[in-house]
Structure 1
Amino acid sequence: MLGLTVVTLSLLLVFVVGYGQALKSYRQLTTETVMAQTEAARLGIEQVLNSGVPLEDIAGLSQVLQPIVESDVSVTGLRLLSGQKQLYLFGEALEDDNRISIPLRNKFTRVGTLQVVLSDQVVEATVTKSFQPFIWLIVILLAVFIGSVLKSTQRTVYLTSFTMVFLAMSVSVMILVGSLYRDGLQSKAVSLADVVSQRLSPILIHNVDQGLVVGIESMLDNFRQTNPELSKIAVFKNTSLVASSQQGEGMVQALSDTGMLDYVIGTSSFGEVRLSYKVQIVLAQLSRTLKNFAVLFFACGLVCFVFIRLLSGEVNQSRNDLVLERIKPLFLGAVLMESLMAPIMPQYMASVADSVGLGASASSLFFTLYFLGFALTLLPAAKLIEMYDIRRVLVFGILLSSIGCGLLSIDLGLGAILIARLVSGMGQALIFISVQGYILRFSNKDNKTQAAGIIVFCFNAGFIAGAAIGALLADYLGDQGTFTLAACIGVIMSLFSLVLPSMKAQQKRQGSIMGNVSAMMADSWRLIKIPAFVRTMLLVGIPTKAALTGIVSFAVPLLLAERGVSKESIGQVLMSYAAIVLLVSHKVGPWVDKLGSSKKALSLGNLIAGFALILLAIAVIMPQDWQIIVVMTLAMMMMGFSHGLINAPVVTHVVVNMAESKEPDSVIAATYRFLERFGHVSGSIIVGQMLMWFGAEQAMLALAAFFIVACILFVVFDRHTTKAVLS
């Protein structure tokens, strides 16, 4: 049942994302098709207006406007206005439909407006009809999965069967999305050909010698330039070439000669229009779809892998190993719940701040409430898992985080949003401490390394999957739908937590939660007086956490959104950061152990973070969207490499440097982890203010300078690490 549930949800995810991609591209092509006809009508009407004829006196307006209505079934309304006077009306103009207004001008001023209403429901119905057979495909693939699992006695069949049906579903959806895109291209080609034939109707229908008409090539060239996806337009009469216009690029022409993107449309018994699309534009659209599906496949693979491992594991697995395997999907799902919202959260908070008149810069204060709730809950949570059943604390944390997502989804106003972010942070802290408690109780010397890597793997894998899936679904589900989906995942994870054993405290410790917090405050006060401790915290720990929340989670999505970059690309940029952190974190431990010094890893991490911020400063001044995406992705990969070098070794560095102190290692590590959370809390506030004061480029350069200076200071003043480690 678990395997069937995982496969069903995975196939439905591919279905929904494919549907959203198809709907997005088909809607765009439909709009472009109608706009081509509308542009032709505008040019015809303004030609008459420029001759001095008033708009009300133009004869045959219905014949000029009728081709717009016939261009696509999604056109449900058309209206021509002269001031407040209505000159032409077709259909009904619904308020929630996609309304396009085109101004009409004579030589001197604006004299009218042409309004076209496109129905999203009609476009959606067309795409839905094409996707309906995929419901049966899902049923067939599920039957194949069940049959293959029941047929084999080997537990590895779960992973093999899942991979097979998931690939089949992905490829099928990709083929359909490509087919719908090609249908849209053909529909647009017919509309464009109709526009061209109308402009040249005297030549095509009547016996007018085209040699007596000048400016045809110029007109076609202007028409091609207003439709940049076209590489060639040619008009024929009785198989004789009347005029043509084409892009003067040899490679484009060579590719177009294959005929795959050539359309020949007969416009009358005498003429035809031949259109060729630019191959690179079509391939760019298809490659974006392919990239989105590749990212989706990778993200789903990360999520499903940990679930399928429960089914593919050994039959005689020990209880400890089984619990650790069950912790992985649960923690990954909890992280996924929050990271689904990462690609849209900064711009959503900025819009909320603007709506209440606080300005976009105030969004950093809203954004930091999550991390404030997280930091303030860590110490009480550590006490709670010692006093109560750890599974109850875990379930309470998951439900608390789900409530935070649910409050965002129903949009009750600014107060509810602020409470939602604070509650979500508190819930995630309870989840983190509970998961850590399970890992500590069920790990031993035989699986200590495996257990230590669970949190690192699941956090980064959940962030990768959430950022990718959330970005791809955001355009289709919208902000509120994404928040609702996150809340639903939380409810599912709370039910899944029942597979974990109940872990009641064997002996309740004395003292209250506030007493435990007071003890941690006392530990913090003693430790921050020690130079080695505070040096590492101020030069490495806190800046690294501040960069995570202020740069990766807040500034990068916001800057990309301001440039109009799609949510898919924003999510994939964030995904590149987490992927590199996951890769480097796995390798840095053995490297530091072999090197015998964590100082070099921390210094190199700070230096790379500085260069990553310089690259970010370069990215924000890039003129093209694709350039900023590429450079920012490289910068995020460098930042991920930096944080991968720092996250694991920094605690070891602090503990080793404090070896001569009388404080226990557990107290040093816990205190350090608590104090570095100030970086989490302050990161978005600091970066938000710097963006407002200096602008994006100067802010990134100033932060880069700080990290490079911090690296130099750390190298100069921290001189005892190597000796301590080697001893």
Structure 2
Amino acid sequence: MKDAIVLVLLAASSLLLLLYIAFSDATRVAEQIQTEKLLAQGRILQGEIERFVRPGLPIHQFVGFPARAEAAREADALIDGIGLRDPAGRPVFPGWDSPACDAARATIMQVAASTAVTCQTGDAIRVALPVADRFERVGDIVLTTQRRAIAAQVERVFASLLAVVLAVTAAFALVVLALPAALDEARRWRRTGLAFVAAFLGTTVVIVGALIGIYSDGAQARATSLSRSLAIRLDDIVAYGLRFDDITGLDALFAEYRQVHPDIRAAALVVDGRIRAQSGGAEVGQSWAADPGDFDYAVTVSAPGAKPVVQVRVALPRSTVYAQVARSAKNFAALLVACGLIAGILMGAARAAQGRGGEGTESTRGEAAGALVTPVFFLAILSEHLCYAFLPQTIQAAAAAAGLPAGAASAPFVAYYLAFALALLPAGRLEGRVSARSLILAGLVLSALGLGVMAGASTLAGAQFWAALAARGLSGIGQGILFIGVQAYLLATASPARKTRAGGVIVFGFQAGMIAGMAIGSLLVSSLQPKGVFALAALVAATAALYVRLTLPSLRAPARPAPASAAPLGRVVATLLRDRTFLATILLIGAPAKAVLTGIVLFGLPLLLARHGLPKEDIGQMTMLYAGAVILASHVASARADRTNDTTGLLVQGAGLTGFGLILISLAGGGPIALAVAGVTVIGLAHGLVNAPILTHVVEARIAARVGTANAAAAYRLLERGGHVLGPMIVAQVFLMAGQTFQAMAWIGAATLASGLLFLVLSRRSDDGAAEAIQ
């Protein structure tokens, strides 16, 4: 019964997490759409007022503002306030006011030929558009929507989805409880796993269906709002019985509305079925014909039963709506992958927890205990990567606020990786004196503290950069200690025949944690803000520490005699660095691969993509593509290396593909951003070809037999961290010399290709891979 309760709680947690992530994404999309609607309505008011003030008339004499503002509010019920302010920030029309944007939270958006300022606080979304005469800015239009009103609309949909999740959880509980007690453990887990997959997929289908409806309605909302606004503008003409033939400027009015919403194919005034004024549609006098490829919106202006029948018709291409829905669905698909990884790893940990105290062999129980550490490493990497989609931009802004040059933005990244590398040595020595569990716990606590400092650093104004520098160093120390602890725990609990698989847990945990962290963090930052995501990351790391404290068993320190090949690491490193094969491997392949990861994928590329205008979720999803490609290529490369024993060929191919991927990214500056997507994917495939075979290449070299394969592997893992440290520094310097542009990536790509070719030449000169000392 206890095991069944644990499984049901895990299933419920996984499904509720999926629901919460879907709710957050739906709210984010709804807020983005509402911001676009505010911009559209503001642009209309902006154009009318500017036509009034350009001849030199004072802005306070624009007497039509209250009527225009009321029409905008009627067209969109979510608009909470509309105000017109003078350059000093004072309301021009008392009674029609909206609080100004907080400059500290403002985001500059370029809208056609004018500049709009949008800002988002904890309670409201505000949009400010400048009003200018022929010489200067004479005021601002400010429109506001309460975020609570947007969330309430989404909550009405998700209330029914919550009932679905609870029903599915109850059904899963019945399946688990109904399993016959006589079933053996393997069959029981097979059926439980199938039931959980069915519950997860079934819930996903229902949520996706609801989200598509929300996304589709939202994509059409701006066109609907503008249609109503047009109808309200024409209402007085119909109400007073005026003839449209006597009204001038109708075509200009419809053209202006199409300019505000360029996705609209056509907008027209239709009187008794015939077009009276239009923009982008059929000629005046012709009948309005709906196109099957459009969404056709009709708002009747005339009273019911009145003649003539006056309508405003707007045609929005279905392809536009489908493209926006597909974009939102893409974001949720990334979240679905993240939730699936979390659910799968937690269910695996639950199975291990039930098996560790069973009646199996000591080896089986040890492997079950080792499996318990998998979610720890996964959650630790997830917490670290929750903030990577926006961390470079945040640190760069902090450096600018502190009055530091742009190149200083790389310092916190360097501090993290340098602290990580330096922590490996003392942690490795401590591993023989304290338990691996203690190292894991200490690493998680330090990592959580570092992330907590990052969350609080936003309140330190000019000192934010220095707090971030210290926080990243603290997190680096924690992650380095954690790495050694996890590695030691896995090796201590794995049977001799499964040591390689134990190492594979680290590779999978790192890439899976990166995928989940980037997906969730990049989408939650719009609602939680960077400070909230840092706090969430600290909470995840602290939760993992609590899990270790309560669940992970402490291992008895085994009596392990020191191997005969044991030697001080400094002497081992010095010996290896005098070997041409090892030196070429680390300098031309290993370190450059790590430098590209930290310098390009995690630091430089997010900065470039943010400057290019890509949202944070797209930046995070690019890193997800990298990690997924690494996982895919690693499996292929491992099998090929074992089959052909040709590690040199794989490493050269990896270097070549890395250079090719960087060149693809460099072309994105003057071409489609899809080139950057392709480049990141190619780099992921390239690193998958390098990560698995390079350690085999090192330990099979002749020099490894002299110093010991374990010593050679440990020394290589330490030295390759130099690439982690140098990556952000090199990219920052390239940006300083060549500019912060995509084209700068081509220089790094060329250098990577050259290093791969040099490695190939040196490998061919070696005598059947024999190590040669540098003369």
Task: Give the TM-score, by structure 1 length.
Answer: 0.90
Q: Does 1:592 align with 2:592?
A: no
Q: Does 1:282 align with 2:321?
A: yes
**Equivalences for residues 379-418 of structure 1 within 5 A:** 379-411=425-457, 413-418=464-469
Q: Determine helix, strand or coil for the equivalent of 2:752.
A: helix
Show the counterpart of 2:73. Answer: 69
The structure-2 alpha-carbon separation of the partners of 1:466 and 1:105, relative to structure 1 and needing over 3 Å to count, comes to closer
CA contact (8 A) 1:158 1:311 kept: no
Of the candidates 655, 660, 663, which is equivalent to residue 606 of structure 1? 655
Q: Distance in 2 between matches of 1:608 and 1:239?
A: 61
Deviation string, structure 1 residues 216-253 (Cα, Å, up to 9, x no partner): 445423421321121222322244432333369xxxxx
Q: Distance in 2 between matches of 1:699 and 1:539?
A: 20
Q: Determine helix, strand or coil for the equivalent of 2:557.
A: coil
Of the candidates 145, 154, 174, which is equivalent to residue 147 of structure 1? 174
The structure-2 alpha-carbon separation of the partners of 1:199 and 1:597, relative to structure 1 and needing over 3 Å to count, comes to same
Amino acid at match of 1:390: A
- After superposing on structure 2, the runs of 4+ consecutive aligned residues of structure 1 that deviate more than 6 Å are 313-316
Q: Distance in 2 between matches of 1:473 and 1:366?
A: 23
Show the counterpart of 1:89. Answer: 94
Deviation string, structure 1 residues 551-598 (Cα, Å, up to 9, x no partner): 111111121112121111111110111111111111212212222221
Show the counterpart of 1:298. Answer: 337
CA contact (8 A) 1:306 1:328 kept: yes
Show the counterpart of 2:114. Answer: none
Of the candidates 346, 352, 366, which is equivalent to residue 307 of structure 1? 346
**Equivalences for residues 625-644 of structure 1 within 5 A:** 627-628=672-673, 630-644=674-688
Q: Does 1:656 align with 2:700?
A: yes
Cα distance, 1:214 vs. partner? 6.1
Show the counterpart of 1:513. Answer: none
Of the candidates 124, 142, 146, which is equivalent to residue 115 of structure 1? 142
Show the counterpart of 2:759. Answer: 714
CA contact (8 A) 2:424 2:480 kept: yes
Show the counterpart of 1:692. Answer: 736
Cα distance, 1:13 vs. partner? 2.7
After superposition, the CA RMSD in angstroms is 3.0
**Equivalences for residues 21-170 of structure 1 within 5 A:** 21-49=25-53, 54-81=58-85, 86-90=91-95, 93-94=98-99, 96=121, 97-105=124-132, 110-153=137-180, 154-170=188-204
Show the counterpart of 1:530. Answer: 579
Q: Distance in 2 between matches of 1:705 and 1:36?
A: 45
CA contact (8 A) 1:602 1:645 kept: yes
Amino acid at match of 2:28: K
Q: Determine helix, strand or coil for the equivalent of 1:546.
A: helix
Deviation string, structure 1 residues 187-210 (Cα, Å, up to 9, x no partner): 544532343335555764566555
Show the counterpart of 1:645. Answer: 689
Once the two structures are overlaid, the 10-residue window that deviates more, 445-454 or 392-401, is 445-454
Show the counterpart of 2:105. Answer: none
Show the counterpart of 1:448. Answer: 499
Show the counterpart of 2:395. Answer: 349
Deviation string, structure 1 residues 114-171 (Cα, Å, up to 9, x no partner): 3333323332333334433433333222212212221224222332232233233333
Once the two structures are overlaid, the 10-residue window that deviates more, 533-542 or 75-84, is 75-84
Q: Does 1:485 align with 2:489?
A: no
Q: Distance in 2 between matches of 1:610 and 1:194?
A: 53
Q: Distance in 1 between matches of 2:94 and 2:78?
A: 16
Of the candidates 2, 12, 15, which is equivalent to residue 19 of structure 2? 15
CA contact (8 A) 2:268 2:281 kept: no
5+ residue gaps in structure 1? 249-253, 511-515
Q: Distance in 1 between matches of 2:132 and 2:694?
A: 67
The structure-2 alpha-carbon separation of the partners of 1:603 and 1:255, relative to structure 1 and needing over 3 Å to count, comes to farther
Identity of aligned residues (%): 32
Amino acid at match of 2:447: S
Cα distance, 1:374 vs. partner? 0.8
**Equivalences for residues 334-373 of structure 1 within 5 A:** 334-373=380-419
Cα distance, 1:378 vs. partner? 0.7
Once the two structures are overlaid, the 10-residue window that deviates more, 218-227 or 681-690, is 218-227
Deviation string, structure 1 residues 603-651 (Cα, Å, up to 9, x no partner): 11111111111111112333xxxx21x2112111111121111112222
Once the two structures are overlaid, the 10-residue window that deviates more, 237-246 or 679-688, is 237-246
Cα distance, 1:50 vs. partner? 5.7
Once the two structures are overlaid, the 10-residue window that deviates more, 167-176 or 397-406, is 167-176
The structure-2 alpha-carbon separation of the partners of 1:264 and 1:352, relative to structure 1 and needing over 3 Å to count, comes to same
Q: Distance in 2 between matches of 1:682 and 1:18?
A: 38
Q: Determine helix, strand or coil for the equivalent of 1:257.
A: coil
Deviation string, structure 1 residues 373-405 (Cα, Å, up to 9, x no partner): 110011111111111122111111111111111
Task: Give the TM-score, by structure 2 length.
Answer: 0.84
Show the counterpart of 2:117. Answer: none
Show the counterpart of 1:501. Answer: 553
Show the counterpart of 1:671. Answer: 715
**Equivalences for residues 106-255 of structure 1 within 5 A:** 110-153=137-180, 154-184=188-218, 188-197=222-231, 200=234, 204-205=238-239, 210=244, 216-246=250-280
Of the candidates 495, 520, 531, which is equivalent to residue 469 of structure 1? 520
Q: Determine helix, strand or coil for the equivalent of 1:99.
A: strand
Amino acid at match of 1:289: S
Once the two structures are overlaid, the 10-residue window that deviates more, 690-699 or 555-564, is 690-699
The structure-2 alpha-carbon separation of the partners of 1:592 and 1:56, relative to structure 1 and needing over 3 Å to count, comes to closer
Amino acid at match of 1:224: R
Q: Distance in 1 between matches of 2:465 and 2:172?
A: 47
Q: How many residues align?
A: 709
CA contact (8 A) 1:599 1:722 kept: no
Q: Distance in 2 between matches of 1:237 and 1:325?
A: 72
Show the counterpart of 1:540. Answer: 589
Amino acid at match of 1:11: L
Q: Distance in 2 between matches of 1:142 and 1:243?
A: 57
Deviation string, structure 1 residues 499-556 (Cα, Å, up to 9, x no partner): 333124345999xxxxx9x922222223212222212211112111111111111111
The structure-2 alpha-carbon separation of the partners of 1:353 and 1:4, relative to structure 1 and needing over 3 Å to count, comes to farther
Q: Determine helix, strand or coil for the equivalent of 2:95.
A: strand
Q: Determine helix, strand or coil for the equivalent of 1:225.
A: helix
Q: Determine helix, strand or coil for the equivalent of 2:80.
A: strand
CA contact (8 A) 1:20 1:475 kept: no
CA contact (8 A) 1:373 1:425 kept: yes
Q: Distance in 2 between matches of 1:201 and 1:82?
A: 30
Cα distance, 1:707 vs. partner? 1.5
Cα distance, 1:278 vs. partner? 2.1
The structure-2 alpha-carbon separation of the partners of 1:533 and 1:242, relative to structure 1 and needing over 3 Å to count, comes to same
Cα distance, 1:422 vs. partner? 1.1
The structure-2 alpha-carbon separation of the partners of 1:244 and 1:521, relative to structure 1 and needing over 3 Å to count, comes to same
Show the counterpart of 2:297. Answer: 263
CA contact (8 A) 2:651 2:693 kept: yes
The structure-2 alpha-carbon separation of the partners of 1:186 and 1:556, relative to structure 1 and needing over 3 Å to count, comes to closer
CA contact (8 A) 2:698 2:704 kept: no
